Amino acid sequence: MTQGVLSLAFFFLLHQVSAFSNLSVEESIGGLISNPYVLEDRKRIDEETIDQTSSTITVTTIATTHELSLACLKDNLTFYQAGGTPHSLLCNLTGRTDIPLSVSLDTDLHALATLLPPFWIYFAPGLVDRTLNISICPHRIGSVYLKVWVREAKPWNYEGVLFPFDLSNATLLKQYTTWLLKGNWGFEEGGNAAMGLHLKILRSRGILEIIFRVIVAVMVCTLTLVMGCELDVMQIWKHFKKPVAPIIGFVCQYGLMPLIAFGVAMVVPIKPEFGFGLLTTGCCPGGGGSNIWTLLLHGDLNLSMTMTFISSIAALGMMPLMLFIYGRFFLDTNAIRIPYAQIAGQLCYIVVPVVIGMIIKWRFPTFAKRMVRLFLRPMAFIFIFSIIGFGIYVNLPIYSLMGAYPLLFPIAAALPWVGFLLAGVFAFLCRRSRAEILTISIETGIQNTGIAILVLLYSMPQPEGDIGAAMPLVVGFVTPLPLIFAYTIVAIKEGKCSRCCQKKRAAEVIETDDEEQQERLRSFSKDHIFEAVIS
C-alpha cells in the first residue's frame, strides 16, 4: 500500500496533474465572463466577505462531515502588477474533518493571475491546522478569485502533503478524479468551489507617472501661452457677441458626445467598467489638444479657444448632469465623484497662460509675432509626440489591455471619430464657414481625457477605476489618427502649392529679366542709330 501511494505521488509530481484546467475560464473580447459556475462562485464569495470589517478576511465551508476555514490578512489580498514578480499570500487553513479530504486551490482566471504552482493537499480525518504560503504570479490588472475545492478522498497515508498541478492535461485530470477522489466528480457539470478569496491586482505607480504629469502641465501652459500671442481679442469678442458657433459647439459637446458614448457602451458587450469609462469620456469638456489641431489644420483658433473655455466652465454643471442621466445604467450614481478642484485647475491651465500671451501681444507685438513664428508649430509637434510616446510608456499596463480585449480599440475609436463626423455635418447644416466647421468638429471630437481619468479614479474602487481609466487613455490614443491623416494631406497639398508658387515666381522673375534685357537692347540699338545719323 505504501509503495502504491509513493508511486502515485511520484507520478503526480512528475507529470504535474491538473484538477481545474476546464474551470479556468476565458473572458470575451469585451471582458465579459459567461461561465455560470464562475459567476455564481464570485457572487457568493463577495457576499460572504463584503461585510467583514476586520483586518482579516475569513471564508468558511461547513458540511456534515467537515468544517474548514481559510483566513488571510485583508491587505495581503491586494497587490501590484510589478513586472510579473510573484506575490506571496499567507493563509491559515483550520477546522476539522471526519473523512479524508482533498483540498485543491487555483485561480479562476489564468489570464490575470496564476498560482506557482496550483496545488492540492490531502488531509486525514481529525483536526486541520495548516499555514499555506501561496505564490501568485500577476499578469495584468483586474480582479481574480482564489478558489478552494474540498472533496472527499480515498484513505491513504500522506497527511498534509502538497502536490502541484499541471493546468492543461485532461487525461491526468480524469486520473485524478478517478484514482484519488472518492465518488464520481464531473467538473463541467458541478464545478462550484467550496470557498474562495477575492484578489485585486493594481497598477503600480512610480516616479515616472509624476514626471509625466509635470511635463504635460509645463508643456500645456507654455503652448497655450504662445497660442495667446496668436489670438485676436476682437475676434474672440465677436464670437461672444454673436455666439452662434459656440452654441453649436456646446450642443455637440454635451448633446452628441454623451449620447454616442452611451449608445456604444450599451450596444457593445463590454465590461461595465469599460462602459462607464467610455461614458465618462463622452461627458468631458473639450481637450487642450483641440487647439493644437485647429492651428495645424488651419481652423479658427479664436473660436477654438472660446469653445474650450466655455465647455470647461460648463463641465462643472454638465458633467454631473450627464453622468446622473446615463451613469445609472453602469453603477450607483451616488458613488460618482466629480473632481471640481481638478476641473478648475484644468481651466487655469488654459485661461492664465492665454491671458499672459494676449498681454504680451498687446505690449510687445513684434516679440509676440516672433514667438508664434519660431515656437508655435514646433512645440505643437513636440507636445503631440511626447503625449503619444512617453504617455504610452508610462501607462503601458493599461494600454496592454487593448491586446487582451480587442473590442477596446473600435469602441474607443467610435466616440471621437463619430463625434468628428456628426459635429461637422451639424455645423455644415447650420451654414457655418469652412474654418468654423473644421473647428467645431475638432473641438467636439477631442475630449479632455485627463478629467475623465480623475472622475473614474475618484468614483470607482480599485482596480475597477484603473480598468475604467483604460477607456479615456485608449480614446486619447486613437483620437489623433484621422487628424494625423488629414494633416498629412494638408502638408502634402501645401508642399505642392509651395513648390508650384516657387516655380511660378521663378518663371515670373526670368520673364521679367528677359523683358528688361530686351528693353535695354532696344534702347542700345536706338542710341547707336541716332549717333550714326548725326555723324
**For the chain, what is the largest distance between any 2 Cα atoms, rounded to a whole number of angstroms?**
145
* Short-list 281, 267, 279, CA closest to 330: 279
Measured CA angle at 67 (ends 66, 71), to 5 deg: 145
The more confidently predicted of residues 176 and 33 is 33
CA-CA distances (angstroms) from residue 246 to 25, 305, 350? 50, 10, 17
Amino acid in position 448: N
Alpha helix (H) ranges present in 120-206? 170-175
Model confidence over 405-414: pLDDT tens digits? 889 999 999 9
Asked if residue 297 has pLDDT above 80, the reply is yes
Residues shown for the chain = 535
pLDDT of residue 452: 87
Asked if residue 427 has pLDDT above 50, the reply is yes
Banded model confidence at residue 416, pLDDT cuts 50, 70, 90:
very high
**What one-character DSSP code corresponds to residue 334?**
G
pLDDT of residue 184: 52
How many CA atoms within 13 Å lie on the side-chain side of 437?
13
Amino acid in position 289: G
- Ranges 187-196, 252-261, 346-355, 475-484, most confident: 252-261
The more confidently predicted of residues 168 and 75 is 75
Q: Domain limits of the chain? A: 2-201, 205-478
CB within 8 A of 103, min separation 6: which ones?
A: 68, 93, 120, 121, 123, 148, 149, 150
- Distance, in Å, from the CA atom of 3 to the CA atom of 9, rounded to the nearest integer, reads 10
Q: Are 43 and 193 in contact (CB under 8 A)?
A: no
Q: Is 95 left (phi over 0), alpha (psi -120 to 50) or beta?
A: left
pLDDT of residue 199: 93
Question: Residue 198 forms beta bridges with which residues?
Answer: 145
- Ranges 8-17, 121-130, 184-193, 420-429, most confident: 420-429
CB within 8 A of 102, min separation 6: which ones?
A: 120, 121, 122, 123, 150, 151, 152, 153, 180, 181
pLDDT of residue 444: 94
Amino acid in position 212: F
CB within 8 A of 362, min separation 6: which ones?
A: 233
Please name the residue that has the C-alpha cell 449608445: 263
C-alpha cell at 124: 486525514
Asked if residue 93 has pLDDT above 90, the reply is yes
- Distance, in Å, from the CA atom of 535 to the CA atom of 526, rounded to the nearest integer, reads 14
pLDDT of residue 37: 83
Asked if residue 255 has pLDDT above 80, the reply is yes
Q: Which of 7-11, 244-248, 495-499 has the lowest average pLDDT?
A: 7-11
Banded model confidence at residue 6, pLDDT cuts 50, 70, 90:
very low
pLDDT of residue 19: 39
The more confidently predicted of residues 521 and 419 is 419
CA-CA distances (angstroms) from residue 364 to 224, 317, 361, 367, 478? 17, 38, 5, 5, 39
pLDDT of residue 22: 45
pLDDT of residue 161: 67
Asked if residue 294 has pLDDT above 80, the reply is yes
The more confidently predicted of residues 475 and 450 is 475
Amino acid in position 69: S
Q: Are 277 and 468 in contact (CB under 8 A)?
A: yes
Q: Which of 45-54, 100-109, 171-180, 490-499 has the lowest average pLDDT?
A: 171-180
Q: Are 113 and 201 in contact (CB under 8 A)?
A: yes
Q: What percent of the chain has pLDDT over 70?
A: 80
C-alpha cell at 181: 477522489
Q: What is the pTM of this model?
A: 0.78
CA-CA distances (angstroms) from residue 79 to 86, 102, 106, 141, 344? 10, 28, 17, 10, 33
Compute how many other C-beta atoms are within 10 angstroms of the C-beta atom of residue 421.
14
C-alpha cell at 360: 504680451
The more confidently predicted of residues 247 and 162 is 247
Cα torsion 31, 33, 39, 42 to 10°: value is: -40
Model confidence over 202-230: pLDDT tens digits? 887 778 888 888 888 888 888 888 888 88
CA-CA distances (angstroms) from residue 294 to 137, 396, 445? 46, 29, 12
Q: Are 354 and 227 in contact (CB under 8 A)?
A: yes
pLDDT of residue 8: 38
Asked if residue 21 has pLDDT above 70, the reply is no
pLDDT of residue 312: 83
Banded model confidence at residue 265, pLDDT cuts 50, 70, 90:
very high
C-alpha cell at 438: 473644421
pLDDT of residue 13: 35
Question: Mean pLDDT, the chain, as a whole number?
Answer: 80
- CATH code of 205-478, in short, is 1.20.1530.20
Instruction: Tell whether omega for the bond before 463 is within 30 degrees of 0, i.e. cis.
Output: yes
pLDDT of residue 419: 95
Q: Are 371 and 356 in contact (CB under 8 A)?
A: no
CB within 8 A of 306, min separation 6: which ones?
A: 236, 239, 240, 246
Rg (CA), the chain: 34
Q: Which of 80-94, 95-109, 185-199, 473-487 has the lowest average pLDDT?
A: 185-199
Indicate the pairing of strand 142-152 with strand 195-203. Answer: antiparallel
Q: Give SS3 for 111.
A: coil
- Distance, in Å, from the CA atom of 62 to the CA atom of 50, rounded to the nearest integer, reads 19
